[in-house]
Amino acid sequence: MDIFGDGPGYNDANRAFLQAFLARSVLTLETAKPIIAACSTFREQREVLPQDVTVEDLNDYIADANRRLSPLDFEIRSTLHQQTRERVYALVNTTSDPLMQLATSYTADEIVYVRKLLDAMFDGQNNQGKREAMCISGIDAIQVGRAALRRQANEENEAQVAAAGVLSAMDSENMLHKLLDEGWLEKSRAGFYNLSPRALMELKGWLVDTYNDEDEDGNKREKIKFCHACKEIITVGQRCPRRECPCRVHDICTQNFFRIQRSTRCPLCRTEWDGECFVGEKSITTSESYQTGKRRSGAYNRRRPSAHANNEEDDVE
């Protein structure tokens, strides 16, 4: 089926919008405004400015696009960014294994690297015990490229899979840049990588099926958790001070959530919610060990003479 073909109420402006979306994969209202303005200018034969475009206009274009995409098992979906609360629109495959979709643009080794990166985020040391980070530092993300895959499909292909996906430091770094550019990852100011809104929408079902399982004793292990307020996946936010309690809430959801329930107690276990127990990279960066490491690193850098200072000394001599 030609998604750019003719149809009732579907015209060149709709086709141009869909082509622009396919080229980007991710849009927000602000990034969509100039696209819709150009499409609407062509359709209406009058100038439409970006500032004149509304969210209703965007929704209309998306609805038309989704009618064309549905037979191909694609859909434009939206979610709120966990930190900015900006609505993000992404093109999502509704049926096939999301990791297998990468096969069209990534090598087999790169796909295995993505699996190892996800394992490190959701099944690694930063998502165990008191830490609920679900992110990975830049250094660890590069080292992942040289590690064996944690999860094996079966014993027969264990050796084969373990040998696959081994990338050099440069290849791992290039792969991270590629995942950033294509909107699968986001990188924080502190240098941590986490899944983008697009990735969370695309991988939601796969993440739950893969990481929410049972241990050897049959106890449920829920590595993927959901915000008690908005019911979306949470990888950045707050958790109940009582570690065993499963309640998690996005930072951007806390104010309205506790205002509506007229209490600052956990809605599940009634523990006082202090806002000091974190989900995401803050569970790492607020830890004593991380802060101690930063202080030591800062002290070392202050003691270390700069290249400029060495040059000055050489000039004096």
Confidence class of residue 247 from pLDDT cuts 50, 70 and 90? very high
Residue 289 is predicted with a pLDDT of: 78
Helices (H), the chain: 12-24, 29-44, 55-69, 108-122, 138-144, 158-163, 169-181, 197-211, 251-261, 282-285, 288-303, 307-316
Residue 148 is predicted with a pLDDT of: 61
113-148 pLDDT, tens digit per residue, is 999 999 999 998 888 877 899 999 999 999 998 876
Mean of the pLDDT values across residues 233-240? 96
Average pLDDT of every residue of the chain: 85
Q: State phi, psi for 75 to the nearest 5 degrees.
A: -155, 140
Q: How far is CA 165 from the centre of its chain?
A: 21
Residue 301 is predicted with a pLDDT of: 53
Q: State phi, psi for 137 to the nearest 5 degrees.
A: -70, 160
Q: State phi, psi for 93 to the nearest 5 degrees.
A: -80, 125
- Inform me whether the pLDDT recorded for 36 exceeds 80: yes
For 246-265, letters b (16+ CB in 10 Å) and e give ebbbbbbbbeebbeeeeeee
The answer to whether the pTM exceeds 0.85 is: no
Domains and CATH numbers, the chain: 12-93 (3.90.1150.220), 107-214 (1.10.10.10), 225-285 (3.30.40)
- Inform me whether the pLDDT recorded for 269 exceeds 80: yes
Mean of the pLDDT values across residues 7-23? 86
Residue 130 is predicted with a pLDDT of: 77
Confidence class of residue 155 from pLDDT cuts 50, 70 and 90? very low
Mean of the pLDDT values across residues 207-234? 88
- Inform me whether the pLDDT recorded for 242 exceeds 70: yes
Residue 299 is predicted with a pLDDT of: 55
- Say which residue, 30 or 292, is predicted with more confidence: 30
Residue 2 is predicted with a pLDDT of: 44
Mean of the pLDDT values across residues 36-64? 95
- CB 254 within 8 Å of CB 276: no
Total number of residues shown for the chain: 317
- Inform me whether the pLDDT recorded for 310 exceeds 50: no
- Say which residue, 101 or 39, is predicted with more confidence: 39
Nearest to 49 by CA among 35, 28, 63: 35
- CB 116 within 8 Å of CB 274: no
- Inform me whether the pLDDT recorded for 59 exceeds 80: yes
62-79 pLDDT, tens digit per residue, is 999 999 999 988 999 999
Nearest to 40 by CA among 55, 52, 29: 52
Residue 245 is predicted with a pLDDT of: 94
